[in-house]
Amino acid sequence: MTPPLRRVRRWAEGETQLAAFDTLLCGRLRVCTACGRSPVSQDGIWLGETTGAALAVAYALCGRCVAAGAATMRALDATLR
């Protein structure tokens, strides 16, 4: 189910999103968020929601973790939660 548009707008105006995108775009992540290896080959933004707030976290993955596929993403999701 898609969240209501007003909820998305509230998150989009938040400082959390700006900080996560700044980290991602400036290339500050040098090691894999999942395992700690370097170099990184893929990065992205993880989005989470708590009661009354939203959270955006920049992450990076090394080649091994990208190759592991869904298992790595599930483990990363559990860690970031």
pLDDT tens track for 49-79: 777 777 888 899 999 999 999 999 999 899 8
Distance CA 34, CA 78 (A): 10
Q: What is the dihedral of CA 65, 70, 75, 81, to 10 degrees?
A: 120
Report domain extents, the chain: 5-80
Whether residue 15 has pLDDT greater than 90: no
| Average pLDDT of span 39-49 | 87
pLDDT at 7: 45
> With a threshold of 0.75, does the pTM exceed it?
no
